Amino acid sequence: MAFEKVLTRNVGHPEALGVRGYRDRGGYDALARALRMAPEEVVEEVKRSGLRGRGGAGFPCGMKWSFVPRQHPKPKYIVCNADESEPGTFKDRLLMENDPHQLLEGCVIAGWAVGANTTYIYIRGEYTKAARILEEAVRDAYASGVLGENVLGTGFRHDIHVHRGAGAYICGEETGLLESLEGRLGQPRVKPPFPAVVGAFGCPTVINNVETLCCVTHILQRGADWFKGIGPDERNTGPKLYAISGHVERPGTYEYPLGITFRELLEGCGGMYKGRGLKAYIPGGASAPMLGVNDQEIPLAFDHLARAGSMLGSAAVIVMDETTCVVRATLRLSRFFAHESCGQCTPCREGTNWMAKILTRIESGKGTEADLDLLASVVPNVGGISLCALGDAAQGPVKSLLAKFGDEIRDNLRHGRYPLPRQRFFDPGAAS
Amino acid sequence: MTNHATADHSILPESVRTEIDALRPRYPTTEALLLPTLHRAQRAAGGWLSPETIVAVADFLELPPAKVAAVVSFYDMFHDHPVGRHRIRLCTNLSCQLRGAEELLEVLGEEFGVGEDEVSADGRCSYVQFECLGSCDTAPMMMVDDEYHENLTPERVRQIVRALD
């Protein structure tokens, strides 16, 4: 059976921006269905679907929901993580700008499932257009009886508030996000306790990514069996958005069954830019170790990429052609992590800066063999020993640079810098 | 106290206070209003948060000024120093770098005659390199104030910045 796109079905249908248009296209049926089920049944359905978080960590969504205590004296919260800032990732922006109600519907379903009456959508501050569209959709949903005191006439109360961040990658980490939501520096918390028990404002909280909550909507609409039927195996299920960028002919967000291969994805977006050869690709955003020309048949799914030494992450695929200096590319990512480390834990704060500094020396032609040894000795000490995974993420690109592109680093050391002339993307003759 | 409050009102306009008061029921704590307040205060104050504005925000939300200042310094979208009338954020992260962002950074330098995060002589603009803005499929790109400008070329960047008032 041909694969039917569901997450992006309303892209190109601007009428779906309004409640009426969204309903005409089948929207809010899933919510009505969920509200006829017992909350426990909704959790069970999502568990059975095999849905794993689409934000980066790939944690099973239904299991996360089931950690929230049923009986609890405090209010409970849903927090939608719309702080999309993993370099290379732009899929959630597409979902929010084109189909805001798909997300709102998922939020209310999640609220019903765990017994939460409030959702905060924490959206990165730079996404001003998406925030405007969401605010408008929320107003419309209140006016149409989808939100508020009496959701779809069932007596269930649910409120949704859009809350803007202010520019900090670490606020995509779920406890950093909660700190930021509460008006503080986005510095991750000590865990345990986990947010399911002590989350937003000290209350039980579920934090789900935008695409994850959109998947929930379709799981309730079509059933767990439909969702489970998509993807390579029962641990890697469902439709998936792949955001592909860099040196390809048609960068963009593409919806496929989870687990298509890099080669298939590349073909679907018109192949390499100007037909050039591939040097490396990153399968899951800046945190994911790079893969090379020999890794093109790996299914882009959680477990398959993990076995290959990388990760699906946010499924942001960044493609680098044969003219790319991978040292320079890695340096850019290392500078990013050094800038974004929140400064709380020493291994991450110091380690990300050390990696960026050593790579700067190597890239600029001032590096020595000793720098390479130093880099190799620093990398293992940056991750795994901090409050959050930013240090681990920062290791990813450098680890793979050392493992896969040692020859190229040595070329940098030997020749002073990248042996090819510095790549200029814009042809000076072409500009008018 | 009265004088203090009056002075604050000239720095943090009534319109901002009214908007924030309307948001209070959304959150169980006052502290959670800090980011929403800073966004609005910065806009009302011409793009950056002076020590006086920070104190006014702290007063209004009954928070320690040092706490507000720390939050301002933590987030890339808040500025504790003067910025140009227009604020340009050029994404130079990997996907944009691969498609020519570094060349666009040179163009911005030529156009304004100042370095990163400095205000152009006519006060019109300041520009910075920024981390990924989630527009990698239309790289290279930059944000001018609140608007995204995508699929840029050096020529297009010159046109855009020359049209700014």
A422 located within any domain: no
Whether residues A190 and A85 fall in one domain: yes
Which of A306, A321, A336 is the endpoint of a domain?
A321
A189 and A304 share a domain?
no
Closest-CA distance of chain A to residue B98, Å: 6
Of A270, A289, A321, the one marking the end of a domain is A321
Measure CB to CB from residue A161 to each of B26, B97, B153 and give the nearest one: B26
Tell me: do A307 and A351 sit in the same domain. no
Cβ contacts of B100 on chain A, cutoff 8 Å = 424-426
- Whether residue A82 sits in one domain with residue A29: yes
- Taking CB atoms and an 8 Å cutoff, what residues of chain A touch B35? 125, 163-166, 180, 183
Contact A128 B146 (CB under 8 A): yes
**CB distance B75–A424 less than 8 Å?**
no
Residues spanned by the domain of A270: 239-321
Which CATH number belongs to the domain containing residue A310 in this structure?
Answer: 3.10.20.600
- Residue A152 burial (CB count, 10 A): 17
Whether residue B94 and residue A432 make contact (CB cut-off 8 A), yes or no, is no
Q: DSSP label at A274?
A: G
CA angle B37, B42, B44 (to 5 degrees): 95
**Residue at A303 is within a domain:** yes
In a domain, A183, yes or no: yes
For position A411, what pLDDT does the model report? 85
Instruction: Indicate if A338 and A355 belong to the same structural domain.
Output: yes
Closest CA to A151 of A45, A36, A243: A36
Structure tokens given for A206 = 């579920």
Judged by a CB distance cut-off of 8 A, whether residue A421 touches chain B is no
User: In chain B, which residues have their Cβ closer than 8 Å to the Cβ of A166?
Assistant: 35, 38-39, 75-78
Distance CA A180, CA A146 (A): 28
Looking at beta carbons, which residues of chain A come within 8 Å of B133? 126
| Confidence at residue B4, expressed as pLDDT on a 0 to 100 scale | 47
Cβ pair A49, A237 in contact under 8 A = yes
Instruction: Please name the member of A168, A251, A328 whose beta carbon is closest to the beta carbon of B137.
Output: A251
Give the residue from A287, A321, A355 where a domain finishes: A321
Residue A165 in domain: yes
Beta-carbon contacts below 8 Å between A and B:
155
Is A41 domain-assigned? Answer: yes
Q: What is the pLDDT of residue B3?
A: 42
Distance of residue A115 Cα from the nearest chain B Cα, in angstroms: 18
Residue A8 lies in a domain: no
Residue A170 is assigned to a structural domain of this protein = yes
> Residues A316, A270: one domain?
yes
Cβ separation of B133 and A126 shorter than 8 Å?
yes
What is the band of B5 on the pLDDT scale with cuts at 50, 70, 90? Answer: very low
| Helix/strand/coil for A241 | strand
Could you tell me if A185 and A113 lie in one domain? yes
Mutate: best of B23, B33, B62, B95, partner A, most A CBs <10 A: B95
pLDDT at position A298 is 97
Query: What is the pLDDT, as a whole number, of residue A425?
Result: 80
The gap from C-alpha A16 to its chain's centroid, in whole angstroms, comes to: 24
The maximal CA–CA distance of chain B, rounded, in angstroms, is 57
* CATH number of the domain to which A39 belongs: 3.40.50.11540
Claim to verify: residue A392 and residue A352 sit in the same structural domain = yes
A426 found inside a domain: no
One domain for residues A19 and A111: yes
Note whether A108 and A198 are same-domain residues.
yes
Please list every residue in chain B whose beta carbon sits closer than 8 Å to the beta carbon of residue A161.
26
Looking at the fold, whether A197 and A285 belong to one and the same domain comes out as no
Contact (CB, 8 A) for B64 and B40: no
Please determine, for residue B85, whether its predicted confidence score (pLDDT) is greater than 60: yes
Q: Which domains does chain B have, with CATH numbers?
A: 2-74 (no CATH), 86-162 (3.40.30.10)
* pLDDT computed for residue A415 by the predictor: 77
**Neighbour tally for A310: CB within 10 Å:** 24
Give A328-343 as a DSSP string: HHHHHHHHHHHHH--S
Beta-strand relationship, A159-164 and A118-123: parallel
Query: Domain check: are A183 and A224 in the same one?
Result: yes
Contact between A183 and B35 using a beta-carbon 8 Å cutoff: yes
With contacts defined as CB-CB under 8 Å, which chain B residues touch A88?
Answer: 93-95, 132, 136
Q: Per-residue pLDDT tens for A59-108?
A: 999 999 999 999 999 999 999 999 999 999 999 999 999 999 999 999 99
Overall domain count for chain A? 3
Residues in A closer than 8 angstroms to B157, CB to CB, are none
Residues 6 or more apart whose CB falls under 8 angstroms from that of A38 comprise: none
Quick one: what percent of chain A has pLDDT higher than 90? Answer: 92
The stretches in chain A having pLDDT less than 70 are 1, 416-423, 427-432
Structure ipTM: 0.95
pLDDT digits (tens, 9 = 90+) for B99-153: 999 999 999 999 999 999 999 999 999 999 999 999 999 999 999 999 999 999 9
Contacts of residue A124 in chain B, CB cutoff 8 Å?
134
Unique residue bearing structure tokens 């649910």: A158
Interchain proximity A93–B70, CB inside 8 Å: no
Q: Is there a cis peptide before residue A299, judged by omega within 30 degrees of 0? A: no
DSSP A52: B
Among A127, A336, A424, beta carbon nearest to B134: A127
